[in-house]
Amino acid sequence: MASASHRRSLRTRRTLVVSAAVVAAGVGAGAVVMNANAQAVDLYHQTLAAKDGWASSGTGTTGGTKADSAHTFTVSTRAQLVKALGSASDTTPRIIKVKGTIDANTDDAGKKLTCANYASGTGYSLSSYLKAYDPATYGRSKLPSGTQETARAAAQKKQAATIVFKVPANTTIVGVPGTKAGISGGMLQIQNVDNVIVRNLAFAGTEDCFPQWDPTDGDDGNWNSNYDSVTLRGATHVWADHNTFTDALHLDSANPKYYGREYQIHDGSLDITKSSDLVTVSRNRFTNHDKTMLIGSSDSEPSGKLRVSIHHNVWKGIVQRAPLSRVGQIHIYNNYYDVTTLNGYAVQYSINSRAKAQVVAANNYWTVPSSVKVSKLLSGDGTGAIAGSGNLVNGTTTDLVAAYNAASSKDLKTSVNWTPTLTAGLETSAKNLPASLATTTGAGVLS
């Protein structure tokens, strides 16, 4: 994937100019913070600003800012990252600086691992799996079971043991500026822990070697994969900021079809599920992906959680789930959506509100080609709500809910049961977002 230049002197000067302009405009909640002497704040100890979205609620989100020297790490390999993370149950504050790109599909010695390595010894082979569960002979009424499904699950378990990184509470993980910092092929799992910061990282190529065939999924069945680049499960107080998420280098257009359905090796980019709560997602870039952000994994998740703020992000070449929201109170503001088809990723919708989700979507900007109807930008199941105003389509103020409801039999509700108050950095006009977010979002921007 393409990366911005990291020449230090130019980046430093640009950061000073951009930061000063952003702060002057009153929109600096997610940008680089400057002190009175115009020096960049220590990125590794920076905490979420007051009132910057749901993650600032209560105790706020400070990550590993209290880490001592023994729990401050610089990592550049998978093995080093695993060691720095330690036990997922250890709540000792820690700061992890990621230098360069970490390839998750490597062993402890740094040797490259492939799908064949994970399958070795399990008895799994794709050709045998396809033969065993061909709908023409196996049918479509039940999930796969038996020898090859057991082998597939074993191979997937081997891959998971390598590429899933379990993040403990009170942790800050930040990419070192100027190093093209990121994680390739891996998943950060933030599960049942509190107070985590993830910033300035490029996530790419998170791929499942062993998707499962589900003939009961939809009318024609589907292949389902198992890994998100970042996944929150029962997590609280999480700030994801200035990261880049992409399928590159393997785009969905390269996926084969089996049983007439796409063999999907990608899952989510940043999923927030299992009653996660108090999350702020700011100034990230989401690109070249299908199912991008899921908030709530089930329509039956209990109420009172899944409170998420999503602001100043760029969504480009995204098919759906930007986000898909269930149950919770979600504030989506000052985001830029370009729904022009990119590398074969054609939009189905941007925002979905279902399972009584209470979404406020305000002051966002959509670039929409003539081939896409405005009514396609939203989606719902008839129980979710989307309130808000100030949304622009190609520069024109547009009532997105009215456009959707006019074309749908399952109307979105237009009022919600809450009023956003944690809105530091909110811009009351979306007109400048395409230009301003082009240079202030994603990995590689922070200094």
Catalogue the active-site residues.
321
- Which residues partner with 164 through β-bridges? 187
Q: Are 106 and 82 a contacting pair, CB within 8 Å?
A: no
Evaluate the CA torsion angle 435, 437, 443, 445 in order and state its sign.
positive
C-alpha angle 316/317/322, rounded to 5°?
70
Give the type of residue at 431: K
Q: How far apart are CA 447 and CA 438, in angstroms?
A: 17
Count Cβ atoms below 10 Å from residue 216 Cβ, excluding itself.
10
Residue closest to 231 by CA, chosen among 250, 210, 203: 203
Count Cβ atoms below 10 Å from residue 120 Cβ, excluding itself.
12
Residue closest to 135 by CA, chosen among 38, 245, 215: 215
Q: Are 361 and 332 a contacting pair, CB within 8 Å?
A: yes
Q: How far apart are CA 240 and CA 157, in angstroms?
A: 27
Q: Across 230-292, where does the E strand assignment appear?
A: 230-233, 236-241, 244-246, 257-258, 261-262, 270-273, 277-282, 285-291
Q: How far apart are CA 180 and CA 158, in angstroms?
A: 28
Distance of CA 360 to the CA centre of its chain: 19
